[in-house]
Amino acid sequence: MRKIILTSLIFFLIIFTTFTKNATKELEKEIFLTKENIGKLKNQYDLVLLDYNYLSSPKRLTEFQEEWFDDQLFNTRIDNINKIFFFNGRVLFQSEK
């Protein structure tokens, strides 16, 4: 009787260990994939941030204005704009005055 209990206990422990190892292996895979995705997203974020900072600097925007838009753009204070209208592909501003 004692041999049967001991054998069944050992068998149960072997099966339990197998399930635990498989579950742990799956968790490790998920953790690894998540870390890889986070690393890729961090790299992409750094590149986008660099691109945004470079393209949206005031000096760079002025260069773009001179290069591409000539006299089409004008400076105005944002405080003076009440409403913005889009009409026939153009942008119209209604000011306080």
Residue 78 lies in a domain: no
The pLDDT-based confidence of 97 (bands split at 50, 70, 90) is: low
- Please name the amino acid found at residue 26: E
Residue tagged 């049967």 (tokens): 4
| Structural domain count of the chain | 1
Each residue of 4-40: pLDDT tens digit?
Answer: 999 999 999 999 999 999 999 999 999 999 999 999 9
d(CA 81, CA 35): 47
What is the reported pLDDT for 12?
92
The first and second tokens of residue 45, run together, are 């974020």
Residue 57 lies in a domain: yes
- The kind and range of the H/E element at 33 are helix 2-55
Residue 79 lies in a domain: no
Residue 93 lies in a domain: no
Print the domain residue range for 18: 2-70
Arithmetic mean of pLDDT, 82-94: 81
d(CA 63, CA 73): 12
pTM: 0.47
DSSP state of 25: H
